[in-house]
Amino acid sequence: MADNEDLGSFLAEFENVGLEPPAAPVAPTVPTKPDLGLRDYILGLSRSYLAGPTFNLAEEAEAGLVSAARGTPYEAELGRIRQERARFAEAAPVTSLGTELLSGLILNPLQKLSMIGRGEQATRLGQTVAAAPGAKLTQAVVGAAPTQAIVAGF
C-alpha cells in the first residue's frame, strides 16, 4: 500500500504544478518597408539620379544650399538628407540603386571631360596627317554644304 500512496502523492504534485498547454506557434513578423508618399518618392528618385554622376556630392551641395536658405546648421540638414535617402533606399532598393548606377554611367562627368581632350587630340591628328608628305586637302560638295576632307596619299 505504501507504494500506491507514494504514487498518488507523486501524481498529485504534478497536478498542482499547473502546466499550461503549449501555445499555438506564432508566425514570424516580416519587417515592412516604409511607406513613401509621391513627394518623398520623387525627391528620393531625384536624389538617387544626382548621386551617380556627382559621386554622392549632391547631398553636400543640397545641404549647403538648404542650410543657407533656411538658416539652419549644415550638419543638421546633411543628416536629414541622408536619413531621407536611406528611407528611400529601404522603401525602393532596386529603384534607388539602379537609378544611381545608370545615371552615373550615362552622365559620367569624367567621361565628358576626357572627351574634351579627345577632340583636341583629333585636331592634332588631322594637322599631322595634313602635314604628311603626299597628303592633299580636297574639297567635296555633300548635299548643298561644301566639306573638306584630308586625303593621305600613302
Closest CA to 46 of 103, 90, 93: 103
Q: What does the pLDDT read at residue 19? A: 56
Q: How far is CA 141 from CA 7, 97, 129, in A?
A: 117, 50, 21
Tens-digit pLDDT profile for residues 8-31: 776 666 665 555 666 677 766 666
Window from 18-32, 45-59, 67-81, 88-102 with minimum mean pLDDT: 18-32
